[in-house]
Structure 1
Amino acid sequence: MTTPTSIVVAGAGQAGLQIAASLRQAGYDGSLVLVGDEAHLPYQRPPLSKAFLKRESDADKLLLRANDFFTTNAIDLALGGGVESIDRTKRRVVLKDGLSLPYDKLAIATGVRARPLELVGARLANVHTLRSIGDANALLDGIEAGGDIVIVGGGFIGLEVAASAASLGKKVTVLEASPRVMGRAVAPETSAFFESMHAGLGVSVRTSAQIAKIRGDERATGVELCDGTVIPCDLVLIGVGAVPNVEIASTAGIACANGVVVDAQCRTSDPDILAVGDCASHPNPFGNGLFRLESVQNAIDQSKVAAGTMLGGEKEYNVAPWFWSDQGPFKLQTTGLPIDVEERVIRGSTEDGKFSVFHLRSGRITAVDSVNAPADHMISRRLVAARTAATAGILGDPSTDLKTLL
């Protein structure tokens, strides 16, 4: 393989930054341009729903790297616009400001955007989504203006914001369409624990809640459910998932399916174009078929593999997924993919607020939820990666040293 002399990274979030940093760490000394649609330097998104909303952090503290990092590492920045299109024939990307950049290798790390809610009233002035610093600032202004809050969606973002707002003394209602919160990501026991925990914080959590419309003229004044119930509010947050930003890839004829489709080395259907992070749909060995994972871990680990691929490496991305969510005084940490689970085992006590739920399939550990149990989580990442066989009796016994299962 000929070593590339010009690399463009489309996307300046966690994944885009990691590719750029990994390329330089691997000794790549050619042209390297990081293109982002936001004007900010690459920053952390997880705190936006927590510390940032409570003013325990600010935009500067969120930065992943200071400006001098990019100067020192000769990483050129093109921020505040993003990529408009890819010309695969000429091997150039056209930016939204009209500038054209050549590439030998291109990485697509365009992330996701908040999924819109196609509902009457969803575009009223005080109806928010949360993805960027700009979104967080607008949401924070609304929260601090006072009044009651309705959060549509009982996933990680919705519940994190609910806990943050409740800690500020706000009246919060969470509406989840499914029978339980975080239903696709964690065990029923974990969902039940967090529903109870949020109730203890003063948050009203309504599951199986089907929304008919958001009431109001210029501003939302309430959320109406399909059963006719109206929940008055002064602010609405929509947190119903995310949509991958694949437009520049699909328009260029690159294969997409719930994300930009890549192989185990992060290559797209065009071998000179790679995709990573939230926007990439990849073959995950811990599941069946293609998966698109939205997490810091996935963005970092996948980008390290992609950087190596660009420079001629053949390492495959096969890391066991892991994730965390801070909600009030509790830290939820998960690892693995809870698919086709046949048995669940609780280790510890849900009443004490320190426990883990092991997901088993064919007698092997496929996923683990840990609540305020960081030691369990760290060893569970290794147990899932090794597809460890274990019985319910062993896992549920608090005297069992989990390390002995490896």
Structure 2
Amino acid sequence: MKFLNNVDLDKNQLLQVVIHSAAVAPGSPVDGQIYYNTATAQYYYYRASDTTWVPFGGGNIIGGDGLAESTVAGITTLSVNVDGVGLEISADIVRLKDLGVTAAKLANNAVTTVKVTDKNITFAKIQDIPTMTVIGRVAAGSGVPSAIAIINDNTMASALATNLATAGSIKAYVDSRITELGSLQGAFNATTATNFPGGAATFKGHYWYVTVAGTVQSVVMNVGDVLIANKDNPSVTLAADWIFLESNRDQATTTILGVVSLATAVEVQTGTDTSKVVTPSTLSQRTATTTRTGLAALATQAEVTAGTDNSKIVTPLTLKTVLDAALVASGFATNVGDASALTYVVTHSFGTKDIVIELFDATTGATVYADVTRPTVNTVGIAFAKAPALNAFRVTVKKN
């Protein structure tokens, strides 16, 4: 891959880069060119002023106090000076020797220890507490614990957010409520009743079945319908406290669940009846037109290419085939390069800047990169850093 003009990364990073590697310096270098010498394991840059390949890090490095420096093959190494008596280097680690710090180096009382004495740690809440009480914390966040009462109330009437219940009372309460769920309470006459059934003894899940049709609190009920309490002690006048299950249906509408009849093929084609149901058979007979919604057939490749059928649908594949053929007809190619000019103007005459441009080596076919612009809707500008040889590169232009 060749870039035939300067590349501006606009201050972006060049990631995972490997510098040009070779055992010998590249030929015909230019000022500032760099490479990595695999024989010396060192980077070099070319200095045109004296035609010299200079190793990176070729400047002076001087070891300061406590450091020693040595240079081999252009590589400078800095080492730490140790006396080998009090300080040493072992396995690439600088460390004190076993006798590196003498007793004389430790001042009196330099190291002290503190013992945690008995009773320094206490817990005031660990003590005798009343019966049916535990120590804990019910307030939000961490803090001081307190005594929390334990209740043994099977009805949970005394339950608070600040006490605990025994396992026995919780079981007794849950068992009593479960026995109430789904309990049939009896028949309901919707003709004579003015309110819903229930009261203080009604629990969520209690239900009645309608034996006589009628309307109660604006709710229409038929024989066989079921009323289910949706909460404990539900209101006898509020329909929101109840669930109504209908088992006897009239003709269905857009707002009422019920029975339906099936539409004929003619009714489906007409599309005006709002009270009948469409079957798969009648639906397949409702074909789409430019003025009517419905089912449509897929066009063949020949039909899409001809472009005369107005009743069938074009698929992505048949459309792509037609477009690909059109794109072939909208292409342009030419060679550039005269061994002297750096810029070239290619005229394609497509009348738009919505074009795709590619530049490749006319001999090898490898894609190359130069500075490409679209100065007008009919031309392409190509600029090189060095003048290309005669007809060295080929330019292809495709119209989108």
TM over 0.5, shorter chain: no
TM-score between the two structures when normalised by the length of structure 1: 0.14
Q: Structure with the greater relative contact order (CA < 8 A, sep ≥ 6): 1 or 2?
A: 1
Q: Taking structure 2 as the reference length, what is the TM-score of the superposition?
A: 0.14
Q: Which structure: greater helix fraction?
A: 1
